[in-house]
Structure 1
Amino acid sequence: MNHPCFQTGGYFRFIDGWNLFTTYWAQNEPSRGQPCVNVDVDGKWKTALCNQTMNSVCMKTTEVPPPTEAGHSGVCPDHTTKIREHSFFMTPDSDETFAWVPFRDHCYLFMTDESDWPDAASSCVRLGGVLASIGDPAEQRFIKSKVEKLKDSHSAFWIGLYKTHKGTWLWLDKTPIDYVNWARYEPDDDTYGTVHSDDGTWRTGHRWHTRAYICETPKEITEQLPTVAAHKQEGTHQRHHVHSALVVVLVLTVLSVLAVTAFLLYKKSGRPLPTFDNPLYFNRERSLQPNMIDTSQLVGNAEVEENPEPIITL
């Protein structure tokens, strides 16, 4: 039955956009030139031509693939010194220094001293990395551009590809194999993988073969240091705050001097200081005070009005 995975852009991806996080390839798989994948009754994945007719399994889900990581920040390690195995004919002066070469989020060492695959793998570990894996066409082109410059002196370089006792090919760094660049008639019965410097294709090699090799390590993530522009901007903000504080202090000082001067001048004039005078309050009190009138006269007048004297006419 068909497996919902096919080869796009030179490497295998699921048709719903998910990357391959684990793989279950059968022996000597995946094969170059057969872009579609089917799963056998034993659960192993096998490549095939897409026009072959098979049973199929459909799946429906609401999950979406995670976003692709963007950016390749970080730096490569400093120059690495490889200590040679000293013998009667070699001295410590024969140690060599190699520079890591950056590409995307990894760094690479192209070691030109030849070793068998196990020794090359151990050497990469001592240098802080692992035998390189190749995950997509862009990384393949990068490695090919480097090794082809050395094709006159080195025909092939070990990479971290090896075959298990079950016949399954794996990457030493546990990267899923979702891209292959095997040469024609490869892989064969040999155990380890190489990249040839003349055309960049992958071929197999025996353990006793000696080859140059490629180490790989992730970039080192460092804390971002403030830039000169950031320092300048920070200094500008600090100067702005200092100037604002000085202006506030100056204004308060001037206001204080004016207030003291006004107080002294008013006191020198001899006029009494103004007091609190609420017209509503005092008007209310005046309205409540009785008029300054002789109440005895009012009473007398009232009595006269109530008992008026008889008018005597002559």
Structure 2
Amino acid sequence: MFLRLALLAPLIFLAACVQSNGGTGLSPPSTATLRISSWNVEFLAEKDGTGCEPRAPEDYAAMRRISDGLDADVIAFQEAENVTAAIRVFDPARYTIVMEERAGAPSGTCGGKHPEAQVIRQAVGFAVRKGIDFERHPDVTTLMLGNPQLRSGVDITLRPKGKAAIRLLGIHLKSGCFAGSEAKACPVLLDQIPALEAWIDAAARGPDRFVVLGDWNRRLALPGDAVSQDIDDAEPANADLHLADEGKAPGCDPRYDSFIDHIVLDKRAAADLSGFSETLYASGQKHYSDHCPVAVTLRR
């Protein structure tokens, strides 16, 4: 049985996802570039059959194949219960897991398609390729607004050998205010933006290029979006930001024509940008998360 599964695994992976640019994402690591990805893994639980998106072992295995196929140097992830849950998807032989320290206060049942399931912790983190030196900074708890249910930001600086250092902030903002300011969730998300802008401005004054990435829960590419305008003011000069998915439409779910998962680069990082991609589930294939991974490639 083990031999049969081993032989089938590559075929299952190729059926599970394809790259929007037509590739499989299986190219060997490059020493000349840096690949940065983000994936909301939707209520990723430590134990089988738990959480608001209960999964079986084969689901975790399929998600592991997808994360391996990203071939990323670092993956920002959202909605993982804890480190044990994260390593079910992000191979601990390949990646070091860093997660926010916020304990959270999950309670109640999920409703929807799993009304009896218990809500689990949803946390932000990074999977950093082993062999890449990095420094962890204090979590950006100002994004929580004093509410343990709101996520903090995870703040690290990568120092990859032979490449320029880069600072990364992984975030997951309040859901429900995808555009405008009238939705019920908007006062909360809009209150998070000054804290985010303060981090951006401080990083823009710092010595290293930076990227803010994750589930913004906001369609930043919409014309005149207030959040985008607030943070992208070029003051300081390196806060002249670039939205990696600008001008591109997502293919993950036909119901949505604008990304909410974003990789936003400062002026220095944007000068190194050489590509953006979205990893898609194959037509008719199970969606292992309600989000698809996105990624950028930097020249150094």
TM over 0.5: no
Write 1 or 2 for the structure with the bigger share of strand: 2
Superposition TM-score, scaled by structure 1 size: 0.21
Write 1 or 2 for the structure with the bigger share of helix: 1
Structure 1 or 2, whichever has the larger Rg, is 1
Superposition TM-score, scaled by structure 2 size: 0.21
